[in-house]
Structure 1
Amino acid sequence: MIFKPRRRKGRTAVAGLAALATLAAGCAASDTAEQPSEADSTLIVYTGQAGDWQINFNPFSPSTIEGPGTIFEPLFYFNMARNADPVPRLGTEFSWNDDGTVLTVKLRDNATFTDGTKFTAKDVVFTLDMVKKNKTINSTGYAGTAKAVDDTTVEITFATPSFSQGPQVLGRLWMVPQHLWSKIADPANDVIAEPVGTGPFALQDFKGQAFTLTSNPTYWDGEPAVKKIRYVSLSGNQAGADALAAGTIDWQTGPVPDIKNFEKNHPGYKAISVPLFQIALFTCSNTALGCSGPQTDPAVRKAIYHAINRAQLNSLAFEGTAGPISPGMALPDRDEQYLSPNLESEIAPNEADTATATALLEGAGYAKGGDGVYAKDGKPLAFSVLIPSGWTDYITAVDTMSQQLQAVGITLTSSQVSWNEWSAARGNGKFQMLIDSLYQGPAADPYYLYSYFYSTGSTAKVGESANPNFARVSDPAIDGALRELEKLSLTDVEARKPHFTAIQDRVQELMPYIPVLTNGTTSEYHDAKFTGWPTLDDLYAFPAVWQRPDHSQIYKSLKPAGQP
């Protein structure tokens, strides 16, 4: 089986806005020698970062602030927004043997790291070996054995058929330079303050309020037309919306008021919304791995699931842009052929079912106290939900759910913290609940979400860094079904169905990530300043500024307006 991919041709608001204006002015003032065309080719982006950046360009870290795709490249780019051929990056073609145990990858011979060192197969083998040896950074569950056949050929052997590992290895592992990383004692925790990669961009400068990537003049695919990317920190979503209104940022992914009339209200800008990621209440769920609190009880998690009024929540928090979500956490439309027939319903109820929620709690031994809150063994059902400060849509969502859950005797309190605190807690498991989204894998297939967020191999004990199974799920039935799926081709639908059914049945029963809604991910971008953005008719990449490496495909495709 030989595959030769086709290349695609070519969150206080006022204070935050003032800070951005200062940053933009400071950037211009410090670059007085720039030609106007170079200034026009500086892309200012806002990822939702509230509070100062903490330097971390380690592409394997769950707390990385940037790097995957822009500085460090994968072998291929896989589009999770649509079914499409992989796009070559550091690889040019790949092939499997007939039984899916050997993956052979051909590499390009014209790529160099930004320190001038040539990229070869030895760097790929080193990267894969490093990931395999370090569980914390092995978020894809890679278990192959790689060898360099020659400078431009790598052969990866698996102990069992591993077709499903292809998109993971090829599209979700970031190639690093052996000559530098071999000297790093702890690759899982080193912040890589001076990153060196093969990518289209390199780090120019870093400050807590903003950092800048600059185009790589020796990039194998030619220097990008976007010469600089300025990542700014604001105070949250409202500050992002204000910055868009003032024209001081060029791209953000997040909510804005009156989204239906956004383009009319923001001349020169456009918006795009793509439903893909599932919003959930993440719980530290597994007592065997050190989690503690009432949220470790599946009955409590399922009661919360049934007590949510999703129609009201969508209206108040997401302006009606969110979509339905399945209790089995497959996408209802994209993954329809794999939905388990044993689900209570294919999609979560739109209205609250307080009777079912109450029955679940009382059946599990909870009794309502005089304050109206259920408790067991003297422990009330009262939870703190971590949210990054400034994430206004999620803050509204949690506040709305808090009011809804009062009807079933559960107290939910939002706890706003910095993104850095939230990310650290998410990784080390020191939380009761937090709100976040589950992301998809490199291919348009539910296997990857389950392997990321529900596999024992991608989690850790509380206090250790999990990536990305933050709920600490460890279930033999799920692990076994994932192992069977790894052996099957992604095109063998009938053979895969029973394994997806087994996974979804356990996901529904355990519910470590409490399904909320499927996020209609909305981005706003400066179409009058840059051309080449993805559209619904041409989703060549998933258009979210924080989604890596998709954002790098977009950066590579953009051109300042007026350039041919």
Structure 2
Amino acid sequence: AAVALVTPGWWKPPPAGNYNPWAPMNIFISGIVYERLAYWIRKPGFYKPILAEKWEITPTKVTVYLRKNAYWHDGTHFTSKDVWTTFMIGKAFGWTVWLYLDRVEIPDDYTVVFYIRKPGVLVPRYILTTFIHSPYHRYGKWAEKVAKAKTSEELNKIREEVIAYRPDTLVGTGPFKMKSITEAEIVFEKFEKHWAAEKIVIPEIKFPLIYAREVAWAEAYAGRIDYAFWIPTALHETVRKEKPWIRIVYTSDLAGPALFFNLKHKWLKDLRVRKAIAYLVDREAACKAAAVILPHGPAVIPTGILNEVVDEWITPEFKAKLDPYNYDPKKAEALLKEVGFTKKEGKWYTPDGELFRLTLIAPGGWDDWMAVAEYIASSLRDFGIEVDYKTPEVSLYWAKLVPGGEFDMCIGWWGRWYFFPLESFRGILVVAKPGAHPWAAYPWVGMPEVIELPEIGRVNVTELLITLETTFEKEKQIELVQKLAYIVNQYLPAVPIGEKLSPWTCQELRFRFPPDDDYTWWLCPGDHLGALAIMILEGKVVPIPKE
């Protein structure tokens, strides 16, 4: 009998979990169950068609032509109505793409036209990489309501109705459909009506439901897991020698931890104090601390631009104007004294004569980020700055504390999974505007909208971000990126610490996986199951014949 591929799952079966992709605690299995219109392949940079066969992009619209041989797992034909339904409900849920879209129309069963009211560099990617997970025959009634809704109150009511819906099973268009589910595992079988069924040589995928990394490692060590299992960093080299059939493929996560400052804090709003702290954070040492859990590569220079592409955006001449913030306690001391701080018996005191004390928070349970935060707290304490270090529960952290600015310093994301630095800049330069609501998971640091700096003069940060978002010529993009990098580097609302280097694991006891340099591994950051689906569809994961 053919062998099932095994990879860890982490979802909760019903009733704790559910099959509604819009509801909290849903069982969302990308690539395997739910498919995108297309995948964006970060390296070397191209789209791979999935539910879309082709598309046409103009400044005013994106026209997508769908494949005609796709089906939902319940046997219903996949059509443009399903794409329309997904995007219309997405409107009620405040999807970013609707900042740019005017409307979505479906002239026939296999054509979708997205009309653009505001151009944006990433708009085609927002559209094409969307998961189409809401078939019209299940969710269409709410999409129709969204199309008629006139007020935010109506949209809120529709959103509540959608969230409350509980489908009886998991239905996608992906290469595998759900066969069984228990408290211990979810099993998926090959979907015989999939548009690429003839290429699928894996008969089943089993997801043992594992909620602790150590358990996943124990199962993998025993040879019972084939793909995507955790290996303690300290054991990487040992495992390579003892079990040569286990492979570890490293890619940048295209994101990582940054130290964010609350600019409303009495002393942190002074740039000299922020710079002093930046000089006390040895980014290489911080990354070494994190590497006990997961390897990290230090940010080459704090700009918000990922290491892999910094030279693509920053010219050598402009780089000379930036501060690398190399570890330098003497510079930190001089800056604090310039502000009026004093040091007595190894402790720093503010110009008011009070002990200089800061609160630093990191998400509880994120061991690598906690290691970075612990290093930073230790470094500042060694220098004489008191630090209250806390690790709030992770959902509270991202939903309330970080977007609410309830911290003096916090660890937050930078890089944000794109080589094009717009999203990273957006995440660091979150402008505080009257009446504006903080974005979930974006640190609310009180960044002013208009600032003045040497080299670039007086600039409006929001206008710069919007201009970059709507500029398509590379030379003009470089000019804008350099200005925004200069703001990150010289105004310093945050200090990017390092990029997480994610180890993607497989063991070749029962299956062959693609070579380390295959582009599919670059799909893993943020979507390792989507990467697995592409590997399977391209015939790059195949059973090893028994001798």
State the TM bucket, normalised to the shorter chain.
0.7 to 0.9
Of the candidates 55, 75, 89, which is equivalent to residue 94 of structure 1? 55
Number of the residue aligned with 1:543 = 524
Q: Are the structure 2 counterparts of residues 322 and 359 from structure 1 closer, same or farther at C-alpha, using a change threshold of 3 Å?
A: same
Of the candidates 442, 446, 449, which is equivalent to residue 469 of structure 1? 442
TM-score, with structure 2 as normaliser: 0.76
CA contact (8 A) 1:307 1:405 kept: yes
Number of the residue aligned with 1:485 = 468
Q: Distance in 1 between matches of 2:404 and 2:182?
A: 28
Greater RCO structure (CA 8 Å; 6+ sep)? 1
CA contact (8 A) 2:61 2:113 kept: yes
Structure 1 residues 371-390: aligned runs within 5 Å:
372=347, 380-389=356-365
Of the candidates 247, 271, 276, which is equivalent to residue 248 of structure 2? 271
CA contact (8 A) 2:184 2:209 kept: yes
Q: Distance in 1 between matches of 2:249 and 2:424?
A: 23
Q: Are the structure 2 counterparts of residues 88 and 529 from structure 1 closer, same or farther at C-alpha, using a change threshold of 3 Å?
A: same
Amino acid at match of 1:562: I
Q: Are the structure 2 counterparts of residues 482 and 396 from structure 1 closer, same or farther at C-alpha, using a change threshold of 3 Å?
A: closer
Amino acid at match of 1:515: P
User: By how many angstroms is 1:228 displaced?
Assistant: 2.0
Number of the residue aligned with 1:43 = 6
Q: Distance in 1 between matches of 2:490 and 2:371?
A: 28
Number of the residue aligned with 2:83 = 124
CA contact (8 A) 1:335 1:445 kept: no
User: By how many angstroms is 1:271 displaced?
Assistant: 0.4
Q: Distance in 2 between matches of 1:301 and 1:227?
A: 54
- Is 1:83 equivalent to 2:56 in the alignment? no
Q: Distance in 1 between matches of 2:24 and 2:342?
A: 39
Q: Distance in 2 between matches of 1:302 and 1:494?
A: 30
What CA RMSD, in Å, does the superposition of the two structures yield over aligned residues? Answer: 4.3
Q: Distance in 2 between matches of 1:275 and 1:515?
A: 15
Q: Are the structure 2 counterparts of residues 396 and 161 from structure 1 closer, same or farther at C-alpha, using a change threshold of 3 Å?
A: closer
User: By how many angstroms is 1:336 displaced?
Assistant: 1.4
Structure 1 residues 218-367: aligned runs within 5 Å:
218-222=193-197, 225=202, 227-230=204-207, 232-236=209-213, 238-250=214-226, 251-252=228-229, 255-281=232-258, 283=260, 285=262, 301-318=274-291, 321-325=295-299, 326-339=301-314, 348-349=324-325, 351-361=326-336
Q: Distance in 2 between matches of 1:299 and 1:434?
A: 18
- Is 1:149 equivalent to 2:107 in the alignment? yes
Amino acid at match of 2:513: G
Q: Distance in 2 between matches of 1:436 and 1:54?
A: 29
CA contact (8 A) 1:301 1:514 kept: no
Q: Are the structure 2 counterparts of residues 355 and 284 from structure 1 closer, same or farther at C-alpha, using a change threshold of 3 Å?
A: closer
Number of the residue aligned with 1:171 = 129
Number of the residue aligned with 1:516 = 497
Q: Are the structure 2 counterparts of residues 294 and 257 from structure 1 closer, same or farther at C-alpha, using a change threshold of 3 Å?
A: farther
| Runs of 5+ unmatched residues, structure 2 | 143-157, 450-459
User: By how many angstroms is 1:384 displaced?
Assistant: 3.9
Q: Distance in 1 between matches of 2:120 and 2:412?
A: 30
Number of the residue aligned with 2:155 = none
Q: Secondary structure at the match of 2:296?
A: coil
Per-residue CA deviation, residues 494-548 of structure 1 (Å, 9 max, x unaligned), is 1211211222222234544431112222122122232234522544643347557
CA contact (8 A) 2:66 2:80 kept: yes
Number of the residue aligned with 1:103 = 62
Number of the residue aligned with 1:450 = 425
Q: Are the structure 2 counterparts of residues 431 and 496 from structure 1 closer, same or farther at C-alpha, using a change threshold of 3 Å?
A: same
- Is 1:398 equivalent to 2:373 in the alignment? yes
Q: Are the structure 2 counterparts of residues 270 and 46 from structure 1 closer, same or farther at C-alpha, using a change threshold of 3 Å?
A: farther
User: By how many angstroms is 1:307 displaced?
Assistant: 1.3
Q: Are the structure 2 counterparts of residues 86 and 545 from structure 1 closer, same or farther at C-alpha, using a change threshold of 3 Å?
A: closer
Amino acid at match of 1:117: T
Per-residue CA deviation, residues 142-172 of structure 1 (Å, 9 max, x unaligned), is 4342211211112222224434311121114
Q: Distance in 2 between matches of 1:472 and 1:197?
A: 40
- Is 1:528 equivalent to 2:509 in the alignment? yes
Q: Are the structure 2 counterparts of residues 269 and 119 from structure 1 closer, same or farther at C-alpha, using a change threshold of 3 Å?
A: same
Q: How many pairs align?
A: 509
Q: Are the structure 2 counterparts of residues 84 and 53 from structure 1 closer, same or farther at C-alpha, using a change threshold of 3 Å?
A: farther
User: By how many angstroms is 1:107 displaced?
Assistant: 0.9
User: By how many angstroms is 1:262 displaced?
Assistant: 3.2
Amino acid at match of 2:474: V
CA contact (8 A) 1:522 1:544 kept: no
User: By how many angstroms is 1:321 displaced?
Assistant: 4.2
Per-residue CA deviation, residues 63-92 of structure 1 (Å, 9 max, x unaligned), is 876334343322110012x12431111111
User: By how many angstroms is 1:401 displaced?
Assistant: 2.4
CA contact (8 A) 2:431 2:462 kept: yes
Q: Please identify, of 158-167 and 473-482, the stretch whose mean Cα deviation from structure 2 is larger.
A: 473-482
Q: Distance in 2 between matches of 1:376 and 1:57?
A: 57
Q: Distance in 2 between matches of 1:417 and 1:187?
A: 28
Q: Are the structure 2 counterparts of residues 545 and 173 from structure 1 closer, same or farther at C-alpha, using a change threshold of 3 Å?
A: closer
Number of the residue aligned with 1:186 = 159
Per-residue CA deviation, residues 316-368 of structure 1 (Å, 9 max, x unaligned), is 4316943231311112332412127656776844x522233345555566666
Amino acid at match of 1:317: A
**Larger radius of gyration between Structure 1 and Structure 2:** 2
Q: Secondary structure at the match of 1:280?
A: strand
Q: Secondary structure at the match of 1:469?
A: coil
Identity %: 18
User: By how many angstroms is 1:122 displaced?
Assistant: 2.4
User: By how many angstroms is 1:551 displaced?
Assistant: 4.9
CA contact (8 A) 1:541 1:553 kept: no
TM-score, with structure 1 as normaliser: 0.74
Q: Secondary structure at the match of 2:378?
A: helix
| Runs of 5+ unmatched residues, structure 1 | 1-35
Q: Are the structure 2 counterparts of residues 365 and 279 from structure 1 closer, same or farther at C-alpha, using a change threshold of 3 Å?
A: farther
Q: Please identify, of 141-150 and 298-307, the stretch whose mean Cα deviation from structure 2 is larger.
A: 298-307
Q: Distance in 2 between matches of 1:408 and 1:510?
A: 23
